[in-house]
Structure 1
Amino acid sequence: MTDDELREKLADLLTRDQSDPEVLLQIAYTNDSLGNEHEALPYYEKVLAAGASDRLGTWTGYGSTLRGCGRYEDALAAFDEGLKEFPGDAGLRTFRAMALHNLGRHREAVQDLLMLLAETGQVGGYERAVKFYADNLDLTF
């Protein structure tokens, strides 16, 4: 979809019932797609308060947008809240690791990503070793 098509969609959405969480979520997503992250945030917050059907997408989008706006602590809190509802979700965990990195918590970010890779079988059969090294990043022999 082009930016012009997204702008048309946003204009249409803004004329609809903004108490509908699904409309609010589409407004948030469209603002994000247009690079209007700061404008998307209040819509994500309204969606979370109202209870949209796509809670996972809402938590992911909200946390990612907070992170993109430089609100790293808030982003981390959003990802943590999302993970309470969707424990282990790979998307939330990945974006959470990025927020940890932004907060200077690099070791924890790398550990979390290594565990995610091992848990999802993305390390070519080395799951046990990668899990071990995730907890022992600086180990040498």
Structure 2
Amino acid sequence: MGSRHGGRVHELLAALSDLDARYPNIAEINYQLAWTYEVLDRETEAVPLYEKAIALGLPENELCGALLGLGNTLRLIGKTARAVEVLRSASAQFPDNKELDAFLALALHAAGEPTEALRTLIDILCETSEDTGITAYQRALRHHASRL
């Protein structure tokens, strides 16, 4: 939604809250409302809305975003073990979506697992980089990451 990026977040929140009051069991409304609360740094209010949106059922592309949002929001409010669990599950469900692994690395670091976080980031780098230096040393990077 462009309003989140256009400085009209409070207007968007009011409109989504109004829609949610009229249609409380629409997954997409709950997802957009959660995302908007997160943008406003109101993470605690976002968590149950992400969870409800996921439980109600979202299209695959929105489900990936909702799981990422839920996992990251849990990390931000200090529920790091649950954040890691959500993001690992999401990564397994959407293995091609490397952004999930990047947020998983953040959650792992916050959960006191910096070595696993670094391994995860090196794996992402090796899998996604088109840099000739990274691709040339990919095998060595993976080897050293496995020995951290």
TM-score, normalised via structure 2 length: 0.86
Alignment length (residue pairs): 135
Deviation at 1:75, TM superposition (A): 0.3
Partner residue of 1:125?
A: 136
* One-letter identity of the residue aligned with 1:56: C
Question: Which residue of structure 1 lines up, in the alignment, with residue 38 of structure 2?
Answer: 32
Per-residue Cα deviation, 1:10-66 (whole angstroms, up to 9, x for no partner): 111111112111111110111111111111111000011011121110111110000
CA distance in 2, matches of 1:88, 1:114: 16
Question: Quick one: distance in 2 between partners of 1:44 and 1:127?
Answer: 37
**How big is the shift at 1:124?**
4.9
Q: Do residues 71 (structure 1) and 79 (structure 2) align?
A: yes
Residue 146 of structure 2 aligns with which residue? 135
Question: Corresponding residue for 1:99?
Answer: 107
Give the one of 95, 102, 107 matched to 1:87.
95
User: Counterpart in 1 of 2:13?
Assistant: 10
CA distance in 1, matches of 2:40, 2:114: 30
**Corresponding residue of 1:49:** 55
Structure 2: state its 5+ residue gaps: 1-5
Which structure has the highest helix share of the two? Answer: 2
TM-score by length of 1: 0.90
Q: Please report the RMSD computed on the Cα atoms of aligned residues, expressed in angstroms.
A: 1.3
Q: Using the alignment, how far apart are the partners of 1:62 and 1:69 within structure 2? A: 11
Tell me which amino acid in the other structure corresponds to 2:121: L
- The one-letter code matched in structure 1 to 2:46 is A
Aligned residue for 2:3? none
User: 1:43 is aligned with what amino acid?
Assistant: L
SS at match of 1:38: helix
Percent identity, please. 34
User: Once superposed, which parts of structure 1, at least 4 consecutive aligned residues long, lie more than 6 Å away?
Assistant: none
Measure the CA separation in 2 of the matches of 1:38 and 1:95: 18
Provide the secondary structure at the position in 2 that maps to 1:15.
Answer: helix
In 2, the alpha carbon distance for the partners of 1:24 and 1:36 equals 14
Residue 89 of structure 1: CA displacement?
2.4
**Unmatched 5+ stretches in structure 1:** none
In 1, the alpha carbon distance for the partners of 2:44 and 2:11 equals 19
